[in-house]
Structure 1
Amino acid sequence: MKRAYSPKDIAAKKWVTLPWGEKWNKPFGFPAENASWFISGASASGKSSFVMQLGKELCKYGLVLYLSYEEGVNQTFQRRMEYLKMNEVQGKFRVVVDETYEELIDRLKKPKSPKFIIVDSYQVSEWEYPDAVALMKRFPKKCFIWISQEKKSQPMGGGAIRLRYICDMKIRVVGYKAYCQGRAIGEAGSYYVVWEEGIIQTSNNL
């Protein structure tokens, strides 16, 4: 029989949280380092820039592995890295483009393997929902960040919708603003500014 937790057991649990500054804790609170993230957004919403900015911030707290399944390392990806000065985290940030599920497991089993894993995108990875869940259960001390395409303002596909439900941090990027939509204890109504000029342009167009 599996263990049943009492209120006292749950109250005694301790979490190592991300000690980031107001720019991040105001919209997202102080999530655990191993919290799971689900980030969605329409095309041209600022989602890719937000994910890269989040990856750069997380480099302060451990190695980051970016699985660029959707874009690969194309010209747009290169320009985004240059614009966000990713060279500043040269020793902490790595990108792979065609690693299989099994190869990723082998990589994460190694000593000093990445602490934060960004999967961009869940749909292009072609992994099934049980694969994603199994990966998080196998490496419970690591942080998995799932990026999702959208269709009609919702995560694309039943597997992505199910994955969103179980993730700790649910983020949606709209009009160059990243909003937390669940389980974080951030300031109500706040959002992360992905690109200030883009917000101004969008507002003017509206």
Structure 2
Amino acid sequence: MSRAYNVKDLLSKKFDIMRFTGSWEESFGRPCKQFSMMIYGDSGSGKTELAIQLSRYLTNFGLVHYNSIEQGISHTLQMAMKRNNMEQVADKFKILDKEQLPEITKRLRKQRSPDFLIIDSIQYLKMTKDEYFKFKSEFYPKKGIIFICQLEKGNIKGALARDIWYDVDIQVPVEGFRGIPQKRMNGGGKPYIVNAERAAIYHGELK
């Protein structure tokens, strides 16, 4: 039987809160370093671009690994990295080439493992619901995990992705290069602009 906590125990517990600033704080608040998130949207909505920009910002707080399961080491991913000047944070950012659950688990168990893991995208990760919750119980108390997710006819694509969508701390729907963080938030909530020009064009706001 697990321990039962009283209110004083909970209120006195210390959490590792990341001190986001500027537009990041306005949109994402100040999340706990050990958080879970899903970034989701239609193809071409800007969700991968948002994830890369967030990855870069998270290097201020620890090591980041970006698992490119969908694209792999591709020209399109290369261009996205160039657009966001990821070479400037190369000492704290690594790209994984289509790693599946056994490889990811082994990597996260290493002594010098990443503080944050981005999985792009969940539809290409071979994982069952039971494996997800086992993975979560081992690593969520220690890591920040971000899933990128596709939509199908406006809905989360796939049963596993829907289970994860309900479970994560922060949901970020992305449409027209705007992401709106929501759910269990410590502040924030303002739309995050992934690309100002493309967002303005999409939303009909160019004068």
How far off its partner does 1:96 sit?
1.2
* Letter of the structure 1 residue corresponding to residue 201 of structure 2: Q
In the alignment, structure 2 segments of 5+ residues that lack a partner are none
**Superposition RMSD in Å:** 1.6
Aligned to 2:159: 158
Aligned to 1:106: 106
- Work out the CA distance in 1 between the residues paired with 2:79 and 2:28: 27
- Work out the CA distance in 1 between the residues paired with 2:191 and 2:80: 21
- Work out the CA distance in 1 between the residues paired with 2:128 and 2:186: 30
- Work out the CA distance in 2 between the residues paired with 1:39 and 1:133: 19
Q: 1:95 to 1:7 in 2, by over 3 A?
A: same
- Work out the CA distance in 2 between the residues paired with 1:81 and 1:12: 41
Identical-residue share of aligned pairs (%): 34
Corresponding pairs, count? 205
Q: What whole-Å deviation, never above 9, does each CA across 1:57-113 have from its counterpart, x for those lacking one? A: 111111111110011121111111001100001111111113231122111111111
In the alignment, structure 1 segments of 5+ residues that lack a partner are none
Is residue 128 of structure 2 the alignment partner of residue 138 of structure 1? no
- Work out the CA distance in 2 between the residues paired with 1:84 and 1:98: 21
- 1:34-113 pair list within 5 angstroms: 34-113=34-113
What TM-score, normalized to structure 1?
Answer: 0.94
Aligned to 1:194: 194
* Letter of the structure 2 residue corresponding to residue 130 of structure 1: D
Runs of 4+ in 1 over 2 A off after TM superposition: 185-188, 203-206
- Work out the CA distance in 2 between the residues paired with 1:203 and 1:41: 15
